Structure 1
C-alpha cells in the first residue's frame, strides 16, 4: 500500500498538479478502504507503472461524495452492480517515452483499463462510472469501449473533468483487440 500511495502521489500531485491532502508523500483518500479493490500494473522490476481503484456505488465513492455536480442533476448511482473506476493512471516513471499526459493513450493504459473492467465484472459490475479528465475519452475510443458521458465536462481546479459511463463487458471491446 505504501508503494501504491507513493506512486499515486507522484502521478496525481507531482506530475498532474492536483491539490490533494497528502501526508508523507503518500496519496490516499477516504475511499481507500479495506473493501477497495485495486488493479496494479507492474514492470519487470516489480515497480508499479499503473493503477486503478474500483469501488461499489452502494458505499461512499468519489463521484457520489465529491463530484455529484458532474451528473447533470441526476442522483449519483447507488447499486451493487454499478462500480466506480477512479485514480486511474498508467505512467512508467522509469521509461523515457512516458509522460503523465501520455497515460491516456499507451498500450499499458489500454491493458490496465481492460484488466480493470474484467476485475469489475468479476465482482459483479454491470456498469462502471468514472470521474475522469477528458483524455480518458481518447483511451476508451482507442480501446473500443462503449462509453457515454453522464454529464457535461466541468472545470474543477483548472482541469476539465467529467463523469463517464463504461460498459465493462468484454463483448463491448473485443473487436478493438484485433
Structure 2
C-alpha cells in the first residue's frame, strides 16, 4: 500500500477559525483551477478568490493538507436543507425535484492541484479525497450525496461502487454536458474505493488543528 502524501481535514463552522489560512488558500486555488484554467469566467473576482453564494457558515470543507505546502486537494459539502448549487441554480436537472433531507449532502468543488493529478487515469490524490468523502459521510450518518457534474463522472463513480443515479436528463453548461446525480454512501463503496486506489485505513486527519503541520 502506498504512503499517503496528505491527510484530509474536515473544516466547518465549529473549527474554521483554526484553519483561516488554509480556507483562504483553497479559495485561491479554486480560482486558479476554475476561472484561470477552466475558464468559468462567471466566477472571476478581482481579488483572485473563487467564492460563490454557497460558501457560507453551512459549508463543510474537506481539504487535503500536505506538510510544508498546505492545500493540495479539496471538496465542499452542504446540507441539502440549506441553499445549494443544485437546488438554487440547476433544479431542471432533477425531473422529480432535487432531493432534500438531513441524511443527504450536496457535493461540489472537487479538485486536485495539477501536479498531483494522474496521467490518463485517476490519481492517488483523487482517491484520497474520494475515500475521505465517503468516510466523512459515514461518520455523520449520511446515506447519499447529490451533485451537478460533468457526465463522465457517472461511469467513474460507478466503477468505484458508488451507485450513482441520474435524476433527470443531461443538460449543458457552456460546452460541457452536465447531469444531476444522487450517489449512494455506504461501507461497501468506501472499501471498493480504497481497493481501487490501493489505500489502507482512514484518510481523515485525526489530530488537532495545531498539530497539522
Q: TM-score range, shorter-chain basis?
A: 0.7 to 0.9
User: Corresponding residue for 2:143?
Assistant: 126
Q: Distance in 1 between matches of 2:131 and 2:120?
A: 14
User: Corresponding residue for 1:68?
Assistant: 91
Report the count of equivalent residues: 172
Q: Is residue 131–residue 193 contact of structure 2 (8 Å, CA) maintained in 1?
A: no
Does residue 56 of structure 2 align to residue 56 of structure 1? no
TM-score, normalised by the number of residues in structure 2: 0.72
Asked which structure has the greater CA Rg, the reply is 2
Give matches, 1:167-178, under 5 Å. 167-178=184-195
Q: Distance in 2 between matches of 1:104 and 1:165?
A: 23
Structure 2 CA distance for partners of 1:54 and 1:177, relative to 1, 3 Å: same
Q: Distance in 1 between matches of 2:180 and 2:147?
A: 5
Structure 2 unaligned segments of length 5 or more: list them: 1-22, 196-213
Which consecutive aligned stretches of 4+ in structure 1 deviate over 3 angstroms post-superposition? 175-178
Q: Is residue 80–residue 124 contact of structure 1 (8 Å, CA) maintained in 2?
A: no
Structure 2 CA distance for partners of 1:23 and 1:170, relative to 1, 3 Å: farther
CA RMSD of aligned residues (A): 2.2
TM-score, normalised by the number of residues in structure 1: 0.85
Structure 1 unaligned segments of length 5 or more: list them: none
Cα shift at 1:104? 7.6
